[in-house]
């Protein structure tokens, strides 16, 4: 009988051992699966970023990181300290672009370069970097959460990171090659280091006497961990210098924890010592990277080491004061009062003695924690605040119920910390870190990627507490579980994981023939749409720019030396550009595109340098004013790139320049009215029509993008004049009534047409809720032609119902035309131009008035001949937009008996005249060509002082639906209106009012909107 008994005992032993082994190692395969899932979900769309052999990136800043990483590959391990290839004509110190993030990627790229072409290796390394960093965050996050929830808690925290569909996910997707996700990795590493160091100090209790007597063997662990924590903090700053805001978290933590420790009857000296060491180490390491000897948060400057040293000094003072007052009856009052009083007095003296520096710190603090943002900051999508009314929905959308579980966990952990006789400092740090990241996220939504780890760790703590309360940690096998424990497990799973599941359609259809809903994860669905965004629409224009414009240093200077693209440029506040260098004017969102893909120098960039100048140019109301912004400080900008988003009020980017300009244009100046309509009283009113003001049409951005520099007037191609009409009334929404709004008239007639401008003007004078024109391409008044700007390229990419995505213009001297014709008459010059592509024609129109002797002068920016003689090899542009024939000049006079006499001439304008290589005017003489008697007179282009272009494509567009205030046909982008960060998309556009011959009814509007 002994043999079966021994076998049974051995089997029992093996089973117990197996269960013990499973309990000890179960987290390893779970973590491995989670890591694999995180990496797979982040990299699986990588092929979306390969286009025609090129590798693209998302957003704007990723492109500049590509430039910095490429430079670092060639100059390893050094990054570029100064770059003249942006912010023309000054150049810039990239600061936070060119840090440890770029150095790490460059190192990997050099290794990959051993097996593939180096440029391709650099692009691939940067492409996959965010996915790798996003996955690696799980490693320190696991060990951090494990400190509060054990191994199971660590697994829970990593699961939250793996499943969250918010900012932490998309900042870590392949192609989003910005430093953001690397910030998260190194900040979590720093926080973990601080927790370990503080815990070591609380356990081993180092004192000053051990330091003075050099008992380093007993101080090895706390001081060693403190030094490592200091290095980790410095590495975080090396990745992102503005990360110095972390001192606000750590400073508040040490201040609160040392006070609480003292109040509990313990010496704060132990924790203060490790704090002093870690901040001195961080200060030394951050001082190594100083490039600017001033106080700035956007570069390696005196700010970072100064704050670390001040924090270390403050902790030393707190420890010394604790020793000084120890044993006194009033020790608590003196200690707490002395510290808080010293902070208050120091702040007051700081504000009085150094008001500018004090204001700098206040402004920086408000930028991080102020729960609001100014108009300029709001143009950057990632920097916009989250309205408090939407905070709960935002956090639920990003973290599900885990966020609310984390809030509960934070409150419980804080309560236990305050009630504990020997409180754990790391508990307070986690709570403060999470709370301050919530404030930071509400102030700038970008900081949501930081919040993911505190949410995961606090959720892990809650799960651990629930597991302990339900005695789940003592369960030996599944058979030991009772009903309450099973329910507890189910509740945990539902709270933590269920909100991350996405269900498409009903799971249990009620009727036959209906497919059941598909079940997936929100993070998987969000990642599926990952792609490079709007750079794909710009790519053709940028390639054209790099191939068909002179190299930098060779504009009108073909024998000059082209500027080197990668070089150790000496740092200066005002770079000395060579003759023939030039700038490209564009909104600041697109500056890095122009630098990297176009290899030309933008006037403005996503650092928001040059943003005011760009805004002033785009919103400028006359050409001479615009020319001033194109030529500043001996630097001449030669090209302008404008996309549809800047010229169309349906785009979210349209109003952004009004937040930067200094010429006094506000968003309200650009639109005369929004005309609203309402489908039912259960719905809020929606925009039926946007009515543009004359300021809109007079702005350079619209005169370029919409009119291509041509003159334009309110008369439609069919000779009619259109008036937009509305009425003011209140709308009822449920039980509420709106304020009076501009509304579609009760008869549904938004548009009216008149046979003459005089009749339209008379109607508008008698009706204050109406306006001539105001629709796409139809100004209320005459818009003069531009003399020095010509369209040289239009992108193949289009926006639905708007036109080409990007249009590129060149600023030229223009050809001078001197002519004679009938006295005191309007002379109109026309030339038809062709944009490559089917049916892409427009007519440039300009007018001049003859004097009493019949003399006139005009400057024409478009040439008709000589294109191939003045291309890039000669220092000029290989223009893609070319004339279909010569200029036609026309004038008409009318006698008292209404007889109309028409005068005509034609002339070619050579490219040499336009670019200033040929001096002297082009002579034109208008000859009488036709006499129209009164009974046959039916048209005259001089009757009301305007001459509408013959080609309606020059003054109109053909969108395909009614407006509702969203963007037309855009694809996803990160460009900050700014900036640095907006995702604009939509499908709304306007009714084609400019081609109407009669009124459009409200039913038409509704049908289009539907």
Q: Is the pLDDT of residue 743 over 80?
A: yes
Identify the weakest region by mean pLDDT among 421-435, 505-519, 995-1009.
995-1009
Cis peptide before 310 (omega within 30 of 0): no
CB 715 within 8 Å of CB 757: yes
Cα–Cα distance, 485 to 543 (Å, whole number) = 64
Q: What pLDDT is attached to residue 211? A: 77
Identify the weakest region by mean pLDDT among 109-113, 387-391, 770-774, 798-802.
798-802
Q: Is the pLDDT of residue 506 over 90?
A: no
Mean pLDDT of the region 251-276: 94
Buried b (16+ CB within 10 A) or exposed e, 214-230: eeeeebebbbebbbbbb
pLDDT band, residue 214 (cuts 50/70/90)? confident
Q: What pLDDT is attached to residue 921? A: 94
- Show the tokens assigned to 850: 């003859």
Identify the weakest region by mean pLDDT among 503-507, 807-811, 878-882.
503-507
Cα–Cα distance, 996 to 754 (Å, whole number) = 11
Tell whether the torsion through CA atoms of 125, 129, 132 and 137 is positive or negative. Answer: positive
pLDDT band, residue 375 (cuts 50/70/90)? low
Q: Apex CA 803: angle with CA 798 and CA 808, to 5°?
A: 85
pLDDT tens-digit series, residues 396-422: 888 888 899 999 999 999 999 999 999
SS3 155: helix
Residue 685: CB partners within 8 Å, gap ≥ 6? 676, 677, 678, 731, 733, 738, 741, 743
Q: What pLDDT is attached to residue 28? A: 87
Q: What is the mean pLDDT of the chain?
A: 85
Chain mean position to CA 447: 14
Q: What pLDDT is attached to residue 975? A: 36
Cα–Cα distance, 800 to 121 (Å, whole number) = 36
Q: What pLDDT is attached to residue 9? A: 53
The count of other CB atoms within 10 Å of the CB of residue 623 is 17
Helices 27-43 and 138-163 pack at an angle, to 10 degrees, of: 70
Phi/psi for 578 (5° steps) reads -75, 160
Q: What pLDDT is attached to residue 292? A: 84
> Cβ-count burial of 139 within 10 angstroms (0-12 exposed, 13-18 middle, 19+ buried)?
middle
Cα–Cα distance, 236 to 256 (Å, whole number) = 23
Element (H, E) at 501: strand 501-504
pLDDT tens-digit series, residues 782-835: 999 999 999 999 999 888 777 899 999 999 999 999 999 999 999 999 999 999
SS3 511: coil
Q: What pLDDT is attached to residue 518? A: 64
- Show the tokens assigned to 85: 């290839």
CB 673 within 8 Å of CB 691: yes
Mean pLDDT of the region 11-40: 76
Q: Is the pLDDT of residue 590 over 60?
A: yes
CB 889 within 8 Å of CB 827: yes
Residue with tokens 């870690």: 278
Q: What pLDDT is attached to residue 962? A: 35
Q: Is the pLDDT of residue 890 over 80?
A: yes
Buried b (16+ CB within 10 A) or exposed e, 723-741: bbbbbeeebeeeeeeeeeb
CB 702 within 8 Å of CB 696: yes
- Show the tokens assigned to 905: 């001439």
The DSSP symbol for 769 reads: T
Tally the residues of the chain: 1010
Mean pLDDT of the region 271-279: 96
Mean pLDDT of the region 717-745: 91
Phi/psi for 289 (5° steps) reads -95, 5
Q: Is the pLDDT of residue 31 over 50?
A: yes
Cα–Cα distance, 23 to 476 (Å, whole number) = 9
Q: Is the pLDDT of residue 987 over 80?
A: no
Cα–Cα distance, 369 to 902 (Å, whole number) = 70
pLDDT tens-digit series, residues 541-581: 999 999 999 999 999 999 999 999 998 887 777 788 999 99
Cα–Cα distance, 554 to 268 (Å, whole number) = 67
Cα–Cα distance, 367 to 440 (Å, whole number) = 8
Q: What pLDDT is attached to residue 857? A: 97
Element (H, E) at 143: helix 138-163
Q: What pLDDT is attached to residue 313? A: 95
Cα–Cα distance, 183 to 450 (Å, whole number) = 8
pLDDT band, residue 490 (cuts 50/70/90)? confident
Cα–Cα distance, 383 to 395 (Å, whole number) = 16
Query: Of 735 and 541, which is predicted with more confidence?
Result: 541
Buried b (16+ CB within 10 A) or exposed e, 508-546: eeeeeeeeeeeeebbbbebbeebbbbbbbbbbbbbebbe
Cα–Cα distance, 543 to 991 (Å, whole number) = 33
Residue 119, CA distances (Å) to 19, 70, 122, 174, 565 in order: 52, 8, 5, 18, 14
User: Bridge partners of 834?
Assistant: 841, 882
Cα–Cα distance, 363 to 378 (Å, whole number) = 15
Which stretches of 561-634 are assigned E, i.e. beta strand? 583-585, 601-602, 631-632
CB 800 within 8 Å of CB 969: yes
pLDDT tens-digit series, residues 64-84: 999 999 999 999 999 998 999
- Show the tokens assigned to 778: 């139809």
Mean pLDDT of the region 47-70: 92
Tell whether the torsion through CA atoms of 587, 589, 594 and 595 is positive or negative. Answer: positive
Element (H, E) at 751: strand 751-754
- Show the tokens assigned to 463: 């799960």
Q: Is the pLDDT of residue 278 over 90?
A: yes
Phi/psi for 628 (5° steps) reads -65, -35
Q: What pLDDT is attached to residue 1009? A: 27
CB 134 within 8 Å of CB 173: yes
- Show the tokens assigned to 891: 């004038």
The count of other CB atoms within 10 Å of the CB of residue 354 is 12
Residue with tokens 């000890």: 24
Q: What pLDDT is attached to residue 127? A: 97
- Show the tokens assigned to 88: 């023309």
pLDDT tens-digit series, residues 923-980: 999 999 888 887 644 443 333 333 333 333 333 333 333 343 333 334 333 333 333 3
pLDDT band, residue 430 (cuts 50/70/90)? very high
- Show the tokens assigned to 533: 């965004």
Residue 351, CA distances (Å) to 218, 249, 346, 357 in order: 43, 22, 9, 8
Q: What pLDDT is attached to residue 886? A: 97
Chain mean position to CA 164: 22
Q: Is the pLDDT of residue 1004 over 50?
A: no
User: Bridge partners of 315?
Assistant: none
CB 151 within 8 Å of CB 157: no
Residue 453: CB partners within 8 Å, gap ≥ 6? 137, 141, 144, 157, 161, 184, 188, 191
pLDDT band, residue 665 (cuts 50/70/90)? confident
Mean pLDDT of the region 131-137: 97
Q: What pLDDT is attached to residue 746? A: 87
Query: Of 143 and 932, which is predicted with more confidence?
Result: 143
Q: What pLDDT is attached to residue 353? A: 92
Mean pLDDT of the region 735-751: 90
pLDDT band, residue 894 (cuts 50/70/90)? confident
């Amino acid at each position: 009988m002994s043999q079966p008994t021994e076998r049974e005992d051995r089997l029992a032993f093996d089973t117990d051992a197996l269960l013990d082994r499973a309990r000890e190692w179960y987290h390893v395969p779970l973590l491995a699966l989670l890591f694999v899932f995180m990496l797979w979900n982040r990299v699986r769309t990588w092929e979306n970023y390969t286009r025609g052999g090129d590798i693209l990136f998302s957003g704007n800043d990723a492109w500049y990181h590509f430039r910095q990483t490429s430079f670092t590959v060639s100059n390893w391990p050094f990054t570029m300290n100064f770059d003249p290839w942006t912010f023309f004509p000054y150049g810039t110190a990239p600061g936070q672009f060119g840090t440890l993030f770029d150095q790490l990627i460059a190192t990997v790229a050099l290794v990959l370069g051993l097996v593939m072409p180096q440029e391709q290796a650099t692009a691939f390394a940067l492409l996959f970097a965010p996915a790798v960093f996003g996955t690696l965050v799980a490693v320190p996050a696991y060990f951090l959460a494990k400190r509060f929830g054990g191994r199971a808690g660590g697994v829970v925290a990593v699961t939250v990171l793996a499943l969250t569909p918010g900012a932490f996910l998309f900042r870590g997707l392949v192609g989003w090659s910005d430093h953001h996700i690397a910030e998260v990795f190194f900040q979590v590493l720093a926080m973990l280091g601080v927790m370990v160091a503080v815990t070591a100090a609380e356990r081993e209790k180092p004192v000053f006497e051990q330091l003075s007597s050099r008992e380093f063997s007993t101080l090895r662990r706390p001081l060693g961990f403190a030094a490592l924590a200091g290095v980790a903090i410095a590495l975080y700053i090396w990745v992102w210098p503005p990360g110095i805001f972390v001192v606000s978290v750590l400073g508040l933590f040490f201040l609160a924890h040392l006070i609480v420790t003292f109040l509990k009857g313990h010496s704060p000296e132990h924790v203060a010592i490790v704090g002093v060491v870690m901040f001195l180490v961080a200060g030394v390491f951050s001082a190594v990277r100083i490039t600017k000897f001033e106080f700035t948060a956007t570069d390696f400057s005196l700010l970072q080491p100064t704050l670390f040293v001040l924090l270390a000094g403050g902790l030393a003072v707190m420890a010394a004061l604790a020793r000084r007052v120890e044993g006194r009856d009033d020790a608590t009052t003196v200690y707490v009062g002395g510290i808080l009083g010293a902070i208050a007095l120091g702040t007051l003296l700081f504000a009085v003695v150094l008001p500018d520096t004090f204001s700098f710190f206040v402004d920086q603090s408000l930028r991080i924690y102020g729960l609001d943002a100014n108009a300029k900051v709001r143009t950057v999508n990632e920097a916009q605040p989250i309205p408090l009314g939407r905070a709960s929905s935002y956090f639920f959308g990003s973290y599900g119920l885990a966020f609310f579980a984390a809030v509960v966990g934070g409150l419980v952990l804080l309560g236990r910390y305050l009630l504990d006789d020997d409180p754990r400092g790391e508990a307070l740090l986690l709570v403060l870190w999470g709370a301050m990241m919530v404030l930071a996220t509400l102030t700038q939504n970008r900081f949501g990627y930081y919040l993911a780890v505190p949410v995961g760790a606090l959720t892990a703590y809650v799960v651990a507490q629930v597991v302990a309360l339900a005695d789940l940690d003592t369960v030996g096998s599944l058979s030991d579980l009772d009903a309450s424990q099973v329910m507890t497990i189910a509740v945990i799973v539902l709270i933590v994981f269920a909100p991350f599941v996405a269900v498409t359609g009903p799971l249990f259809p009620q009727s036959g023939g209906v497919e059941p809903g598909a079940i997936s994860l929100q993070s998987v669905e969000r990642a599926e749409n990952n792609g490079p965004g709007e750079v794909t629409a710009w790519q053709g224009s940028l390639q054209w720019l790099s191939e068909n414009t002179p190299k930098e240093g060779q504009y009108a200077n073909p024998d000059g030396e082209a500027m080197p693209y990668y070089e150790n440029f000496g740092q200066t506040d005002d770079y000395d550009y060579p003759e023939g260098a030039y700038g490209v004017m564009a909104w600041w969102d697109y500056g890095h595109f122009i630098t990297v893909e176009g290899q030309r120098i933008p006037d403005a960039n996503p650092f928001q340098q040059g943003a005011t100048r760009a805004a002033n140019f785009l919103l400028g109301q006359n050409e001479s004013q615009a020319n001033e912004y194109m030529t500043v400080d001996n630097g001449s900008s030669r090209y302008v790139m404008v996309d549809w988003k800047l010229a169309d009020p349906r785009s979210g980017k349209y109003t952004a320049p009004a937040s930067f300009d200094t010429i006094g244009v506000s968003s309200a100046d650009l639109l005369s009215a929004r005309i609203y309509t309402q489908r039912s009283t259960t719905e809020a009113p929606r925009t039926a029509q946007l009515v543009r003001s004359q300021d809109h049409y007079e702005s350079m951005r619209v005169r370029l993008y919409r009119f291509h520099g041509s003159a334009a007037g309110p008369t439609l191609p069919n000779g009619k004049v259109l008036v937009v009409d509305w009425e003011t009334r209140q709308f009822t929404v449920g039980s509420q009534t709106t304020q009076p709004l501009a509304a579609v008239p009760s008869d549904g007639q938004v548009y009216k047409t008149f046979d003459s401008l005089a009749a339209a003007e008379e109607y508008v004078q008698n009706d204050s809720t109406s306006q001539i024109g105001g629709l796409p391409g139809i100004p209320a008044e005459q818009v003069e032609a531009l003399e020095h700007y010509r369209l040289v390229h239009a992108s193949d990419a289009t926006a639905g119902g708007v036109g080409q995505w990007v249009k590129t213009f060149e600023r030229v001297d223009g050809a001078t035309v001197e002519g004679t014709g009938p006295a005191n008459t309007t002379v109109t010059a026309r030339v038809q131009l062709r944009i490559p592509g089917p049916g892409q024609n427009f007519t440039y129109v300009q007018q001049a008035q003859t004097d009493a002797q019949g003399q006139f002068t005009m400057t024409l920016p478009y040439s008709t001949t000589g294109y191939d003689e003045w291309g890039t090899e000669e220092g000029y542009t290989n223009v893609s937009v070319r004339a279909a024939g010569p200029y036609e000049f026309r004038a008409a006079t009318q006698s008292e008996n209404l007889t109309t006499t028409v005068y005509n001439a034609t002339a070619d304008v050579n490219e040499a005249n336009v670019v200033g290589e040929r001096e002297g005017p082009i002579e034109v003489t208008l000859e009488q060509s036709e006499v129209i008697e009164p009974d046959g007179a039916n048209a005259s282009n001089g009757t009301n002082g305007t001459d509408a272009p013959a080609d309606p494509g020059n003054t109109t567009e053909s969108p395909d639906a009614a407006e509702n205030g969203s963007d037309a046909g855009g694809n996803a982008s990160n460009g900050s209106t700014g900036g640095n960060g907006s995702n604009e998309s939509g499908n709304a556009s306007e009714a084609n009012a400019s081609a109407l011959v009669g009124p459009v009814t409200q039913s038409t509007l509704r049908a289009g909107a539907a």
